[in-house]
């Protein structure tokens, strides 16, 4: 088998996927086949623009529309599909609601499963060994490191994503937002608040 031959070029590929990607990117750039600036733009789009904004719109709508909220909590998939937020890495969505009694937090202990159509590309820390191990073992401590301190009587429930099921946290609507319109509310919904490692912004 050629792949077992140490002299075969494939055997020289770096083992770390990040290095492989970097090597591939370098070759394609040198050959003029890709533009690194365009790649950065695509990543930025998923990471900072399209992704979390979709989730934020869903959350804001759930805050304003009790029927929508109920449908989302009962079975999120037809609701999200109706909004066009479905596809790769977001096929089987479950929405979990934060309440004064229970705070929800999402992790993928195995790898980095994450609801792409709603939140974009997962942040680096979500994929880190430390987060994946500690979110389950000491969630309250992890939350404190994210700047989230919850009342002692608020239970923390950690949801482990899989290739089958992805979770979206529906955070609690901040106080003092009664007069805000849905799109103004969406601005308050941070990415981390939908993973459960943050809270929505409070209007200034
Ligand atoms: Fe995973």
CA of 136 to the centre of ligand 1 (A): 14
Is 113 an active-site residue?
Answer: yes
What integer pLDDT is reported at residue 38 of this predicted model?
A: 82
CA of 29 to the centre of ligand 1 (A): 30
CA of 108 to the centre of ligand 1 (A): 5
State the catalytic residue, choosing from 64, 112, 128, 193. 112
What are the domain boundaries of the chain? 51-195
pTM to 2 decimal places = 0.80
What integer pLDDT is reported at residue 2 of this predicted model?
A: 41
Is 112 an active-site residue?
Answer: yes
d(CA 6, CA 8): 5
Contacts of 96 (CB under 8 A, 6+ apart): 104, 157, 159, 167, 168, 169, 170
Tokens of 165: 């099921």
Contacts of 28 (CB under 8 A, 6+ apart): 34
Q: Which residue has the tokens 């998939």?
A: 77
Q: What is the pLDDT of residues 156-189, one digit of tens each?
A: 999 999 888 999 999 999 999 999 999 999 999 9
CA of 154 to the centre of ligand 1 (A): 27
CATH architecture of 51-195: Alpha-Beta Complex (3.90)
* Residues in the chain, pLDDT under 50: 1-6, 8-11
CA of 125 to the centre of ligand 1 (A): 13
What integer pLDDT is reported at residue 187 of this predicted model?
A: 95
What integer pLDDT is reported at residue 34 of this predicted model?
A: 84
C-alpha 176 chain-centroid distance: 26
Type and span of the H or E element at 117 = helix 116-119
CA of 88 to the centre of ligand 1 (A): 13
d(CA 123, CA 195): 11
d(CA 39, CA 175): 40
State the catalytic residue, choosing from 64, 111, 128, 190. 111
State the catalytic residue, choosing from 113, 161, 190, 193. 113
Please answer whether residues 150 and 139 qualify as being in contact, where contact means their C-beta atoms are separated by less than 8 angstroms: no
Type and span of the H or E element at 169 = strand 166-170
């Amino acid at each position: 088998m050629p792949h077992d031959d140490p002299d075969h070029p494939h055997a020289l590929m770096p083992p770390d996927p990040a290095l492989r990607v970097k090597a591939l990117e370098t070759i394609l750039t040198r050959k003029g086949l890709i533009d690194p600036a365009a790649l950065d733009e695509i990543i930025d789009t998923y990471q900072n623009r399209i992704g979390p904004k979709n989730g934020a719109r869903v959350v804001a709508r759930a805050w304003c529309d009790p029927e929508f909220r109920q449908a989302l909590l009962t079975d999120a998939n037809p609701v999200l599909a109706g909004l066009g937020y479905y596809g790769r890495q977001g096929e089987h969505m479950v929405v979990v609601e934060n309440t004064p009694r229970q705070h929800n937090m999402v992790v993928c202990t195995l790898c980095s499963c994450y609801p792409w159509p709603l939140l974009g590309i997962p942040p680096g820390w979500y994929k880190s060994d430390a987060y994946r191990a500690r979110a389950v073992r000491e969630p309250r401590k992890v939350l404190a490191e994210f700047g989230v301190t919850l009342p002692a009587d608020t239970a923390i429930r950690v949801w482990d994503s899989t290739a089958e099921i992805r979770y979206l946290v529906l955070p609690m609507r901040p106080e003092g937002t009664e007069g805000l319109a849905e799109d103004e509310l969406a601005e308050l919904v941070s990415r981390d608040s939908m993973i459960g490692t943050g809270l929505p912004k409070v209007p200034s």
